[in-house]
Structure 1
Amino acid sequence: MYEIAICDDIQQICEEVYKLVSEELLKRDVDVRIHTYTSGQALLRAGIIFDILFLDIELGRENGLEIAREYPYKKETRIIFLTSHIEEMPNGYKVRAFRFLTKPIEPAHFEEALFSAIRDIEQDKRFTVTDEEGVHIIRSSEIFYLESQQRSTGVRTRERFARLPLSIEEMKKELDMTQFYCPHKSYIVNMDFIRTIDKGVVILKNDEKIKISRLKMKDFKEKFYDYLRSRANGF
């Protein structure tokens, strides 16, 4: 079952999004529980880990971006912002925004965002890794990059650098390679964590740098910018 939340200070918008979610998922026989909130504080008090959260940026006297910063389950939740102001888009990615939908909501854009989020949840595989502290379970969405090592693969997340007992070629088969890319034969990077591309290197959001193969530079840039456009597909 998917837990989906809708948070908008306008009850009519809550009802509209509720209807869109219900109709789209009912057609596909998807099991879901939908929660609606008209304030960010009510959402936070619920204490529920939502799979998908539709969150208005302008919540009356509240700011949806601030509510998202306070929301403790950002790693587990696909946050889809609702907004009338496209200039807020860059700020949304600071709180792990999955998509943006402009008001009035276009049904086609809504359907794309909803099912992209569901596919993303299904593809967020879990892996068992080890480091000096022991054994950990990580999600593919937490991976900054993977590095080929002898008989294993190094995995960088925000919290640690650990190892997987799989080769980098085996990991390519496990990961969603529309989100991940191989800029060099020894590395796979998660495009969610790329800050910029500069002078033949990928600069990640943790400031680490990974070299891009000269032969892959053009293709990598195209794939990265296509990925960014796909994430902003709500506009």
Structure 2
Amino acid sequence: MIKIAICDDSEFIRNNNQELITKYSIQKDLDCKIEQFENGESLLQKIDTFDLIFLDYQFENKGADGMEIARAIRKKNSDVTIIFITSYTGVVYETFEVGTFRFLDKPIKEDKLFKAMDDFVDSIQNDNSICIKAYGETRYIKESQITYIEGAGKYCTIHLINSNDPVDCMETLSSVEEMVESDSFFRCHKSFVVNLKYIDSFTHSDIVMQDGEMIAISRNKYKPFSEAYANYMVSK
């Protein structure tokens, strides 16, 4: 499931965009969940739950403008995709500051939105995203956002950067380990796979992640782990 937020101060615009996205999802047989917000402040409270945001640039007397909200989004979630929607075409270059994926003029034309959605879906498929079964839904997760994966029997938990809400997954640790394609992942313990990208330091027994989490290293994994980490750091 792809989770999409539409943030605009106009209820008419929000409903119109939702209709277009719904039409797209039906044509493409794409599982989408869409939620509307009339201002950026309410969106920020749930920012970790979305994959794609359609964000208005100008909110008339309803809180911060789109750029201010986008900067706040990036502090909480560096990877969520942002598509700006506005009639102020002169601000297009300013939006690049926050890694804008696309810039669409109001009112959005169906062909323009469909092209943006096609490109977004392609970006998910080409960005080493994994597709996992969470409780009650299917989720796409970008490998670049995974800090570590914790196994627990037939299930596992995927921990994400800039998020306090890990994803409980109805897959084994081994099956998710096989899904990830990046060479930055290493199985350091029977219960843990870590992303070398987010390691702060390590000892013979533990890895300290950048967020302060402590991950155990098996005794027989220390040498291959330290070699893998050294090779990763050299490559970067």
TM-score category (smaller protein): 0.5 to 0.7
Which whole-Å CA distance do the structure 2 matches of 1:26 and 1:162 have between them? 46
Q: Partner of 1:42: helix, strand, or coil? A: helix
Helix, strand or coil at the partner of 1:35: strand
| Equivalence for 1:65 | 67
Normalised to the residue count of structure 2, the TM-score between the two structures is 0.55
Residue type matched to 1:70 in 2?
A
Give, in angstroms, the shift of residue 115 of structure 1.
Answer: 1.5
The 5 Å alignment of 1:1-235 reads 1-61=1-61, 62-71=64-73, 72-125=75-128, 126=143, 127-129=182-184, 136=195, 161=233, 163=235
Q: Say whether the 8 Å CA contact 1:14–1:36 is kept in structure 2.
A: yes
| 1:1-53 superposed Cα distances (whole Å, 9 cap, x missing partner) | 10100000000000011000001011121111101000100101124331110
Identify if the C-alpha distance between structure 1 residues 37 and 106 changes in structure 2 by more than 3 Å, giving closer, same or farther: same
Q: Which deviates the most, 121-130 or 91-100?
A: 121-130
* SS of aligned partner of 2:29: coil
Relative distance call for 1:47 and 1:77 in structure 2 (3 A) is: closer
Distance 2:30 2:36 in 1: 18
Structure 2 gaps, min length 5:
129-142, 144-181, 186-192, 198-227
- Mark the CA change 1:25 to 1:92 in structure 2 (over 3 Å): closer, same or farther: same
Deviations 1:123-149 (A, max 9, x none): 11141328xxx96256xxxxxxxxxxx
| Aligned-pair CA distance for 1:78 | 1.1
Deviations 1:66-85 (A, max 9, x none): 00100145432110000111
Which one has a bigger Cα radius of gyration? 2
Distance, in Å, in 2 between the alignment partners of 1:60 and 1:25 is: 30
Q: 1:163 to 1:108 in 2, by over 3 A?
A: same
Letter of the 1:124 counterpart: D
Deviates further, 46-55 or 5-14: 46-55
Q: What is the deviation of 1:161?
A: 4.8
Cα distance change of structure 1 residues 98 and 74 upon mapping to structure 2, 3 Å threshold: farther
Is there any run of 5+ residues in structure 1 with no aligned partner, and where?
Answer: 139-151, 165-235
Partner Cα distance (2:24, 2:101) in 1:
19
RMSD of Structure 2 on Structure 1 (CA): 2.8
Letter in 1 for 2:113: F
Report percent identity of matched pairs: 29
Change (3 A) 1:110 1:41: same
Equivalent residue pairs, number? 144
Alignment CA distance shift 1:108-1:47 (3 Å): closer
CA contact (8 A) 2:47 2:77 kept: no
